[in-house]
Amino acid sequence: MYNFSGSHSELYMRYYLKLPTALDLSVSSSQTIKLWRLNPSGSIKEIYLNINQFGGSLRNTGALQIATSASTWTTILSHSDLLAIWDGNWHSWEWHINLSTGLLELWIDGVRKFSSSNFNFGGGSFSTLQHFSLGNKVGGTWQSTWQALEADDLVLSTTYVGPDGSTGGGGTTPSDTTPPSVPSLTATAVSSSQINLSWTASTDSVGVTGYKIYRNGTYLTTTTSTSYNNTGLTPATSYSYRVSAIDAAGNESSQSTAKSATTQASSSGGNAFMSTTFNYGPCTQRGALGQTDCGTVRNDGINWNWGANPVDNKYTQTTAAANYPGGGGGYGLRQWKGDGSNVLSGPIKVEFSSPQKEFWVRWYERWENGARWSDGNPAYTKSMYIRTNGPSGPYAGFYGSGYRMYNQGSTGVYPSSNTGGWSSVYPGGVSDGSWHVYEIYLKMDTNGSDGIGRIWVDGKLVSNVPNVNWSGGNSLTRAGFTWFDFQNNQASPSNGKVIYVDTDDMVVYTSTPPNRDASGNPYIGPIGGSTPPPSGGDTTPPAVPTGVTVS
């Protein structure tokens, strides 16, 4: 144990570590090697660093993860990155932790491997460093022979030390004059006021720390993500964008080739409350399976810590395979469902900053090709639960052969339609893997009979009910909608295997959106005002020509 003297809220900790290749733990349950524990004096009393197991043996599945006394585990090094230094050789590890700002960084052999400012370390100062004996375990059985887990040359400093530094207080970041590679940019207009940008990740000899975005030749903002949603734009207006990459030494790459997009036309309407293309790169909920934790890289305000349930060892994730080809970004949301009741991976959550009297939400959805709908009773899968501060709250989703919204805890007439239901979008009850776009609108009632509910499927209004009793007479419920979770609760598919459902290009409005449907109702509408293409794009050939003559 080491006791800190003085008051230090920021720390650089450098040491050398050798992980022997034969080091392992048994497969009886989730196993752990504890590396170190820091104890701050603020509201967060402990910060842990572990190698945690995810099925199989620790060496075959383990990932480096960190947690505090008030949060879940966050993946710092994925299994593949950890395995690269689990090679029986000495490697330099250096941590940078700032209790006040929530910054955490890790360098391996002088190369930055992780950086995030999304942690809540609770302020205060460091008091003790424990468990640097390296090798405590929780349960399980060690391998049959003893293995030495060696550490050496520990340095605690107020500045960066580096692999060759030997004392604290005077270190500097390694010299680097080489800029990162140039990113490749795409720009997609998704509404009359928003253009979504995405670009390829740049590479760098030390590590990329962010990307600068330029609009119409002027600097706009900097982000650590590989996507950005530019909102608040003018309808029917062309915008030009470029992106450059920056590294830890301040080197900036050349700007990308300019990409232009024109916002959709609109005469009126507000801005989106939230919009996402799930373009975080590949990640899993809560860092399951040793992958990047979506909650640490998401750039859209979605709460990813709502659950992390495995279905046949599959977790809610973002993946390029779930990307809707007609939208923005290169990734989409993939969730998993199994046979039976509530056999599904974890939902995600969208929270409003205050109770909302009305809101619109639009998303693109695709079920795995060959997925079948159950003929059992009940047979349902709920796209979302919508919550209030009161006892009742509606849900929306497939029920039987139709699609409907229904209010739990209350009675009355609610929006529903077989048009747009499962048997309509997937004739014969079997998915063909095609994308469809859904949109719902809810307006809270003021007197028990003037609430509104609308459902659009593929841009067509399929249900419009103007006399819904969403509140059930409860004043807390009537105050407004507070949040919703997505893809939660089901008792539906009978496929004999786990199947996936993909979601992408979700937009939420809490003020009147800019577009109008064929009946003049405000709505978000499909991207570009058209229905989605099949999963693989246009596969229908032209008609065979007739009347051909040869002379």
**Start-end of CATH 2.60.40.10 domains in the chain:** 185-262
Phi, psi dihedral angles at 549 (to 5 degrees): -125, 150
Tens digits of residue pLDDT in 54-67: 656 677 777 888 88
End-to-end CA distance of the chain: 96
Residue 136 above 60 pLDDT? no
What's the confidence (pLDDT) of residue 443?
A: 95
Residue 441, Cβ density class (10 Å: 0-12 exposed, 13-18 middle, ≥19 buried): buried
Q: What is the pLDDT of residue 257?
A: 93
Pairwise CA distance, residues 359 & 509, whole Å = 6
> Which of 108, 46, 43 is CA-nearest to residue 77?
108
SS3 call for 88: coil
pLDDT digits over 465-515, tens only? Answer: 998 889 888 899 999 999 999 886 777 667 888 999 999 999 999 999 988
Average pLDDT over residues 285-305: 86
Average pLDDT over residues 41-51: 82
User: Is the pLDDT assigned to residue 73 strictly greater than 70?
Assistant: yes
Query: Is the confidence at residue 323, as pLDDT, over 90?
Result: yes
Domain 275-529 class? mainly beta
3-state secondary structure of 132: coil
Query: How confident is the model at residue 170, as a pLDDT?
Result: 39
pLDDT digits (tens, 9 = 90+) for 372-405: 876 554 467 888 889 999 887 788 888 776 788 8
Task: For Cα atoms 18, 20, 24, give the angle at the middle one, nearest 5 degrees.
Answer: 125
pLDDT of 430 over the 50 cut: yes
CATH of 2-157, one of 2.60.120, 2.170.140, 1.10.260, 1.10.3470: 2.60.120
Strand partners of residue 396: 384, 405
pLDDT greater than 80 at residue 191: no
Q: Is residue 315's pLDDT more than 60?
A: yes
Residue range(s) occupied by CATH 2.60.120.200 in the chain: 275-529
d(CA 287, CA 73): 7
Q: Is the pLDDT of residue 543 over 80?
A: no
Tell me what percent of the chain is helix, strand and coil, each rounded to the nearest 5.
Answer: 5, 40, 50
429: DSSP letter: G
Predicted TM-score (pTM) of this structure: 0.56
Q: Say if residues 149 and 138 touch (Cβ distance below 8 Å).
A: no
pLDDT digits (tens, 9 = 90+) for 116-131: 877 888 888 887 776 5
**Which one is the CATH code of 185-262: 2.30.40.10, 2.40.10.220, 1.10.260.40, 2.60.40.10?**
2.60.40.10
What sign for the dihedral angle of Cα 509, 411, 379, 465?
negative
Retrieve residue 12's tokens: 């650089």
Q: What is the pLDDT of residue 143?
A: 47
66 vs 182: CA distance, rounded Å: 32
pLDDT over 80 at 270, yes or no: no
pLDDT of the residue at 56: 60
DSSP 496: S
What pLDDT score does 461 carry?
A: 93
Q: What's the whole-number average pLDDT of the chain?
A: 81
Higher pLDDT pick, 25 / 449: 449
CB 43 within 8 A of CB 158: no
C-alpha 67/C-alpha 81 separation (Å) is 19
Residue ranges of E strands in 32-138: 32-40, 47-52, 63-68, 74-77, 90-98, 103-108, 111-116, 126-130, 136-137
Q: Between the ranges 18-32, 197-211, 537-551, where is the mean pLDDT highest? A: 197-211
Give the separation between CA 550 and CA 165, rounded to whole angstroms: 84
* CB-based contact 174:55 (threshold 8 Å): no
**Secondary structure class of 473 (helix, strand, coil):** coil
